[in-house]
Amino acid sequence: MTGEERNPMEFATRAMALARAMRNLGRWQRAVEKYDEALAALPLAIEALDECLALLGEVEAWQEIADRCESWLEDFPDHATNDNADRLHAQRIDALVHLGGLERAFDTYGLRPISGAIESVKTSEILCVMVLRNEVVRLPHLLDHHRRIGVDRFLVVDNGSTDGSVEFLMDQRDTIVWQSMSSYRSANCGAVWWQLLLRRYATNNWCLVVDADEFFIYPGWESKDLHSLCAELDVQGSTCLPAILVDMYGANRLSESVIHGSTDLLQEFPYFDRNWYRMRSPYCGPRHNLINHWGGVRARVFGDQSLGSYLLDKVPLFRSRPDQILMSGNHWLDRPSGEIANGRGALLHFKYDAGFTALVEREAERSEHAGAGRAYRKLNARIENWSDPVFFDPDYSVRYDNSEHLERIGILRPLTPECGYPPPGEFIHRPSISGRSGSGSDPVDAPFWSLVLVAEPTHLLARIEDALTALNGQPPSEILAIVTGGDDPPDLRSGRDDVHTIRVITTENHLTEVEALNLGLDRSNGRWVHLLEFGARPTVDVYADAQSVFHGDRDRSLSVLVESADLMVSALSLALDIAPSSILVRREAFAAHGGLSTTIEGAATWEFVQRIAAETQSLVGLLPRISNRSRPSPFVPTHLEFGEDIAHQLIAINHVAKEHALGARAREQLIDRCSENAALRIVEDIERGRASSALAVAAEILSAPISEPSRQKLLRSFSRRLL
């Protein structure tokens, strides 16, 4: 048995050590042999490959570089298979250019010109680069839109279209067409073809990279063309503008959403989700230089716990440079943070038409997209049980109006030095909570309270039932378990019907936790509501204390809530440390104040408390804290990592401050308290080894107007933990 078979890691480590020794002795060929042995034992030993390629570059062994890149890329052809695929393709192109010029690289990747003579391109021209396959129904709309905003020339690669796309493109005077019948995935999902076209045609041009179903827009695009936008970016010193992918859809079933030549896409597909993202992470991408968002309508309709298939960020507009590397298609870009514009555009995504389900099935089978088409396989598995979905939902769908509309909702951002957090207004979504009580029953016969939980943490049920049983069914209660995404409801029958009733509420949508809690709230019958969030740990004490509160001993419970006789927002703050699992709220208060804000879910309960405090002169009978012993849970859900909860708290503060004319001093106190929360989160992240999350938390809070003492306290806490 060889050493490699016994322990590949150990074998590769020894081989790399020998390779470095041979390199230092000037025996480069022997060093390369040892690097090859390390890679044969451990193909993912990227350090060995990098050192080998660097050594081969020193001796200008371009063919050997090209061969080793090709061999490695056979196993890891695209960015979704391995993060290093982007730069390995770039290194392969460099080696091929050294061997036979750009033509050698074009031939290797199967690119051939089909639009006649190769035209020259002026540096002043704005170029739009596309790779497509069978998109003839969208192409007229795509070209018209981008011509209208100022694109001067289109560089298009067709990947084997059979629907007339090539013939249509050949008739366009401002379009240079290339074709490749090679594997899309082997070209890093088209990114290599983009890169080759840019090397040939773009010297220092501003370039726009889009898919055939995307319309690029930006703040004020209706009256400001791309040349003006790029001039502003030049003045700013920015070399690229990020954008958010906005899934657009119609009001009808997919089968009824047909694109014709005369179709106005914004009229036929005018809707998008108000809750346009579900997770936000700073310092993302291979260079940790971008903020990334995940979610969109796909997350709601099709669901994906990891959200990995629903990355909404791209960098479509950039000034081309010879050494650039397009990463993950154009989801990321290899640029310093200082060159990335503060503003943000959008890509209106017109993918969801009558041909969508057939497209998904076809691409799932072809396995030519990222990760061998894994995102399409997931979608196809979902669509098989729901072949003709309706994306429109009045609770989530909003109609696109103009660029100002997308600025108000926080998607587009102007080119300003500091954009701040999404402004209050349409970004803050309050659900519709019915004002009924008892679901049509006499209020006297309604349960005294309703306990709402998302069905996933079913382990809570036994704990809740034990607590309720200890009260001998007094007062009467109901438990609502929310099941989202069309999953089969769990069997929650317990045989304790004399103590409480259990109701299971299902929905086809894949909801966030806050959205699910609002659904349960709307369906609840009780006069009081207890929302149990993920991480809640209710005990018998919670309900025993509640029982005493409801028998008239409210002063004891409210004494921990009220900091002064004034119950306005200035008296309440984040310093209350109210755990959501320790609060009961009258259902009528939820109905009157719009439930929990779904777009700031990390601070939803807190923001609700501030709203009703600002609008109510007395909290007695509305919001008793039901247990002094109930403390906030140390559990941190995944979607609150990377500073998400801090960002949400700052959005909530800005929202409450504007909506209720909060004084400067009160707002400053709230933001400083948010800073204290951030310091605690940083400590927790570092103790758990989540350095990237800790850095993201620091980035979120340090961009806010916290006081200098709070800033110093935050930095001291951060530095002490790192020492």
Do 45 and 187 reside in the same domain of the chain? no
Which of 567, 601, 631 is the last residue in one of the domains?
631
Q: Is 329 strand, coil or helix? A: coil
Q: What is the pLDDT of residue 136?
A: 94
Do 391 and 269 reside in the same domain of the chain? yes
Q: How far is CA 338 from CA 319, 342, 547, in A?
A: 14, 9, 58
Q: Which of 3-12, 191-200, 210-219, 564-573 has the highest mean predicted lDDT (pLDDT)?
A: 210-219
Do 478 and 554 reside in the same domain of the chain? yes
Residue 518, Cα to own-chain centre: how many angstroms? 22
pLDDT digits (tens, 9 = 90+) for 132-166: 999 999 999 999 999 999 999 999 999 999 999 99
Q: What is the CATH number of the domain that holds 28?
A: 1.25.40.10
Do 404 and 435 reside in the same domain of the chain? no
Q: What is the CATH number of the domain that holds 206?
A: 3.90.550.10
Between CA 528 and CA 587 the distance in angstroms is 5
Which of 370, 394, 416 is the last residue in one of the domains?
416
User: Given a cut of 60, is residue 498 above it in pLDDT?
Assistant: no
Residues constituting the chain: 723
To the nearest 5 percent, what fractions of the chain are helix, strand and coil?
45, 15, 40
Domain that holds residue 64: 3-108
The pLDDT confidence band at residue 218, using thresholds 50, 70 and 90, is very high
Do 97 and 167 reside in the same domain of the chain? no
Q: What is the pLDDT of residue 293?
A: 86
Do 170 and 56 reside in the same domain of the chain? no
Least confident of 220-234, 524-538, 688-702: 524-538
Pairing of strands 153-158, 240-247: unpaired
Do 462 and 540 reside in the same domain of the chain? yes
Between CA 299 and CA 598 the distance in angstroms is 14
Do 548 and 648 reside in the same domain of the chain? no
pLDDT digits (tens, 9 = 90+) for 219-273: 999 999 999 999 999 999 999 999 999 999 999 998 898 888 788 899 999 999 9
Strand intervals (E) in 411-524: 449-454, 477-483, 500-506
H/E element holding 451?
strand 449-454
Do 119 and 243 reside in the same domain of the chain? no
Do 469 and 559 reside in the same domain of the chain? yes
Residue whose tokens read 């959200």: 307
> DSSP letter at 353?
S
Do 208 and 218 reside in the same domain of the chain? no
Q: Which of 202-216, 451-465, 649-663 has the highest mean predicted lDDT (pLDDT)?
A: 202-216
Rounded (10°) CA dihedral 544, 546, 551, 556 = 100
Rounded (10°) CA dihedral 413, 605, 647, 653 = 70
Q: How many domains does the chain have?
A: 5
Least confident of 207-211, 221-225, 669-673: 669-673
Do 597 and 553 reside in the same domain of the chain? yes
Which of 91, 108, 125 is the last residue in one of the domains?
108
pLDDT digits (tens, 9 = 90+) for 271-304: 999 888 877 777 777 777 788 888 888 888 887 6
